[in-house]
Chains A and B, each alone.
Chain A
């Protein structure tokens, strides 16, 4: 009897524990040594390996190749018939900064003021955003999240999508400054300013920006001079905004300029010339295909999306889909940026359209992996499957650009991510809901 009771109790305990595990919001990720075998490995930088092996050891990729000695301490994942890709990166989002678009108190992507170089997305990233697990289970492991307001909105941050603090997620806390140039164009059909007024506003805006830039360069020279040899000099007063511009004017971090229209793109290219050591990236660039040669000549990389309607009514319907391919063809380095928050998970489909409409699959994969890694200067860590790089990858049952493909397992910084999100949890709960009411 006693034995029966104890069996009963242990059974009950088992049930309870199982229940408790299921009740958790997310499971804990796995971490340690993993051997992914028999997979088609898309290294991005070194071609595709059929029947390949990827060894993950802690945070890093230990080995990528055909044959590896796999010791017993590796957890084996047989990926026969499956594909392994480096984790995808979306180069322009507001993920982690915006929870619910229409609820203002959950929006942290737009600070007041026109010139905010000292404002940092890194500060406001919410690691608990429900959108983060929703995004990563689709194979998007990294995003650049960018503030978007005024002339200088602040600094974007490059994060991976696993962690409990911005610090643990940040690959680059300050990835780039975000700048919107004054527009020499009418803003839209509702913009009823005269040509004179538009020109006046444009010139005033440019004057303001150029003065801000000059001041920043001066501040940097002044501070550098003092830091190099403080003896006998009076320490200059600190200015937060100007201080934040130092790493920008010195080219330590790049500047993302968002421009869409042809003339704005040309204006932006012109403005970036003779800016000392500063580095620039173009974003948006919806009419890039109109001036692809000019962009290529400027050497500026572009962050683009594909799922929008043509800028002008008379444009060929497929221009947005063709834009990345046409830019690439002209010699521009292209990365995919959705500009999204909750649906960053669609980044692979943006790339899929680019692939289908002229860019080709291989280049479109690069636009989500090695290209952004190079543009933001982190290709030593991210963007391809190579020994020594961070273990950011996913296993899929097919081409990840195909909406019907399933992403089966994601690794971020070596962590084997639970493939759950609010969306999967609601599915589990409600698929077979019984008890019909009403």
Chain B
């Protein structure tokens, strides 16, 4: 009994620590794009305490639950962006080709206005990624867009740990060309991965042997104490990757480098991975399928750097037709505002079905982030993360009207003031000229945010900032 009480208390405390505001709402008479079971016309969706509890017709709102009439409108699962840097404070730890120990966990700005703008585009979850300056960058965070909640409260509970890898031009440029540190070539990139995986395997063996020997020594207090093998966080994370506890999301463009990493992963038994950007994935769709690899791509970005010159906007359709699980991502504070139309481009380029296009921004990214048991479809038991659209979300004339996370409304077009300042002083003549420079740059994806300032015309300098 005492034990049970303690358990309940602990549970209560734990849930208090991670308590997120949850809401209840009944959305009536909409066309529900379930993703799981096709589109259901004239259907109600009931969310109670953050969870979808009922989908059907003529549902009645429980006491105290608000009803929203969605007649003529479309109800869709919240969009999930598998590759984002919004709300990220620091993106790149560009000081070493491998920084697996670094994490985005403490690098979240829950008040970043980009979160609100993303909510206004029907987005409810993002994968906040480390940057692409390093071959093995930092660990990422899967977030729910609970705008304005605390940093910890933004975290997507139960999402698997993920890490960012990067191949090609970015790491070779930052390290080999900027710093004379391997890798300077794609050959070097492979060796950086293999060397570090080997080191992680050796470390794990030696560390475990040491801990065992130490335990034995501590118990007996006889013989010579074992030579310590110090705890190494970097190698521990790498070891977790090999053990399958950390999923890999790898920045990549060219087909050959994607094949390379799959060979490496096969050699080390790494199984759960998604190729990010993957502009040339279409060239090796059968191989990706065979290896169970997933892809998360831009709808049509290409030619902004040389390794994406031989791209095609038909990438998504080719991957989809070949049975590769593919998502459409933004990697941008602008694109994230209209991922629905980015998905529509998969219909335009290659005739992907509308349902499959919608999956690319809902269920597929959820699978890639390991949260598909919780979000990505409108099904009973899943989280109440939904958006209400004025028309079919793939139409350019459709506008997102309301967005809910855990049944709580975070965006409502009707309540959106002209001026979003919390306190508006009419006397104020405030010519703010803040410019989001890192997002206007279209010559590269924003994966290199923070690392780019290390470069000037003379190459790389750690001081940066020189124009």
Q: Are A426 and B310 in contact (CB under 8 A)?
A: yes
Dominant SS at the A interface?
loop
CB < 8 Å neighbour of A427 from B318, B440, B444:
B318
CB < 8 Å neighbour of B416 from A317, A342, A404:
A317
B398 smallest CB distance to A (angstroms): 8
A437, closest chain B residue (CB): B287
Q: Are A356 and B116 in contact (CB under 8 A)?
A: no
Once the chains are docked, how many angstroms separate the CA of A261 from the CA of B431?
Answer: 9
A91 smallest CB distance to B (angstroms): 18
Q: Are B435 and A189 in contact (CB under 8 A)?
A: yes
Q: What size tier do the contact residues of chain A reach? A: 35 or more
Once the chains are docked, how many angstroms separate the CA of A402 from the CA of B344?
Answer: 9
**Does B459 reach chain A (CB closer than 8 Å)?**
no
Q: Are B350 and A427 in contact (CB under 8 A)?
A: yes
Q: Are B285 and A185 in contact (CB under 8 A)?
A: no
Write the B396-416 contact mask toward A (1 if CB under 8 angstroms, else 0): 111100000000000000001
Interface residues of B in 169-189 (CB under 8 A from A): 169
**Does A312 reach chain B (CB closer than 8 Å)?**
yes
A77 smallest CB distance to B (angstroms): 22
Q: Are A405 and B348 in contact (CB under 8 A)?
A: yes
Q: Are A100 and B287 in contact (CB under 8 A)?
A: no
CB < 8 Å neighbour of A308 from B347, B440, B465:
B440
Given contacts A185-B431, A186-B433, A426-B314, contact A401 B309 (CB under 8 A): no
**Interfacial chain B residues near A349, Cβ < 8 Å:** 341, 396
Q: Are B312 and A422 in contact (CB under 8 A)?
A: yes
**Does B421 reach chain A (CB closer than 8 Å)?**
yes
B113, closest chain A residue (CB): A313
Stretch binding the partner chain, chosen from A13-21, A22-30, A225-233, A428-436:
A428-436
B258, closest chain A residue (CB): A438
**Interfacial chain A residues near B420, Cβ < 8 Å:** 313-316
Q: Are B334 and A403 in contact (CB under 8 A)?
A: no
Of the listed residues A101, A340, A435, A437, the one surrounded by the most CB atoms of chain B closer than 10 A to its CB is A101
Once the chains are docked, how many angstroms separate the CA of A427 from the CA of B440?
Answer: 30
**Does B395 reach chain A (CB closer than 8 Å)?**
yes
B283, closest chain A residue (CB): A430
**Interfacial chain A residues near B193, Cβ < 8 Å:** none
Q: Are B341 and A403 in contact (CB under 8 A)?
A: yes
A103 smallest CB distance to B (angstroms): 5
Once the chains are docked, how many angstroms separate the CA of A173 from the CA of B306?
Answer: 29
Write the B343-362 contact mask toward A (1 if CB under 8 angstroms, else 0): 01101111000100000000
Once the chains are docked, how many angstroms separate the CA of A262 from the CA of B306?
Answer: 37
**Interfacial chain B residues near A371, Cβ < 8 Å:** none
CB < 8 Å neighbour of A101 from B303, B334, B431:
B303
Q: Are B431 and A263 in contact (CB under 8 A)?
A: yes
Of the listed residues A99, A314, A422, A424, the one surrounded by the most CB atoms of chain B closer than 10 A to its CB is A314
Interface residues of B in 275-299 (CB under 8 A from A): 282-287, 289-291
Once the chains are docked, how many angstroms separate the CA of A345 from the CA of B127?
Answer: 28
**Interfacial chain B residues near A423, Cβ < 8 Å:** 311-314, 349
CB < 8 Å neighbour of B418 from A262, A313, A316, A346:
A316
Write the B423-467 contact mask toward A (1 if CB under 8 angstroms, else 0): 000000001111111011011100000000000000000000100
Q: Are A131 and B303 in contact (CB under 8 A)?
A: yes
**Does B263 reach chain A (CB closer than 8 Å)?**
yes
A393 smallest CB distance to B (angstroms): 20
Q: Are B301 and A343 in contact (CB under 8 A)?
A: yes
B190 smallest CB distance to A (angstroms): 14
Write the B288-332 contact mask toward A (1 if CB under 8 angstroms, else 0): 011100000000111111100111111001100100000000000
**Does A162 reach chain B (CB closer than 8 Å)?**
no
Given contacts A101-B442, A308-B440, contact A342 B263 (CB under 8 A): no
Q: Are B304 and A342 in contact (CB under 8 A)?
A: yes
**Interfacial chain A residues near B439, Cβ < 8 Å:** 309
Q: Are A427 and B314 in contact (CB under 8 A)?
A: yes
Q: Are A356 and B287 in contact (CB under 8 A)?
A: no
**Does B156 reach chain A (CB closer than 8 Å)?**
no
Q: Are B433 and A404 in contact (CB under 8 A)?
A: no
Q: Are A317 and B120 in contact (CB under 8 A)?
A: yes
Once the chains are docked, how many angstroms separate the CA of A130 from the CA of B312?
Answer: 11
Of the listed residues A131, A403, A434, the one surrounded by the most CB atoms of chain B closer than 10 A to its CB is A403
A346, closest chain B residue (CB): B300
Once the chains are docked, how many angstroms separate the CA of A33 from the CA of B311?
Answer: 36
A319 smallest CB distance to B (angstroms): 9
**Does B195 reach chain A (CB closer than 8 Å)?**
no
Once the chains are docked, how many angstroms separate the CA of A188 from the CA of B437?
Answer: 8
Given contacts A99-B303, A308-B440, contact A190 B465 (CB under 8 A): yes
**Interfacial chain A residues near B442, Cβ < 8 Å:** 101, 340
**Does A112 reach chain B (CB closer than 8 Å)?**
no
A217 smallest CB distance to B (angstroms): 32
Once the chains are docked, how many angstroms separate the CA of A211 from the CA of B305?
Answer: 40
**Interfacial chain B residues near A424, Cβ < 8 Å:** 312, 314
Q: Are B303 and A317 in contact (CB under 8 A)?
A: no
**Does A307 reach chain B (CB closer than 8 Å)?**
yes
**Interfacial chain B residues near A131, Cβ < 8 Å:** 303
Q: Are A187 and B303 in contact (CB under 8 A)?
A: no
Please report A residues at the B interface, Cβ cutoff 8 Å: 99-103, 130-131, 185-191, 261-263, 307-318, 340-343, 345-346, 349, 352-353, 355-357, 401-406, 422-424, 426-427, 430-438
With A100-B306, A190-B437 known, 12 other A-B pairs at CB within 8 A are: A101-B303, A189-B435, A313-B434, A318-B120, A401-B396, A401-B397, A403-B341, A403-B344, A422-B312, A423-B313, A426-B310, A436-B286
A-B contact pairs, 5 of them (CB 8 A): A102-B444, A316-B420, A402-B395, A437-B286, A438-B291
The 8 lowest CB-CB distance pairs between A and B, nearest first, are A101-B443, A427-B314, A403-B344, A102-B305, A342-B303, A352-B396, A188-B435, A426-B312
Please report B residues at the A interface, Cβ cutoff 8 Å: 113-114, 116-117, 120, 169, 259, 262-263, 282-287, 289-291, 300-306, 309-314, 317-318, 321, 333-334, 337-338, 341, 344-345, 347-350, 354, 394-399, 416-421, 431-437, 439-440, 442-444, 465
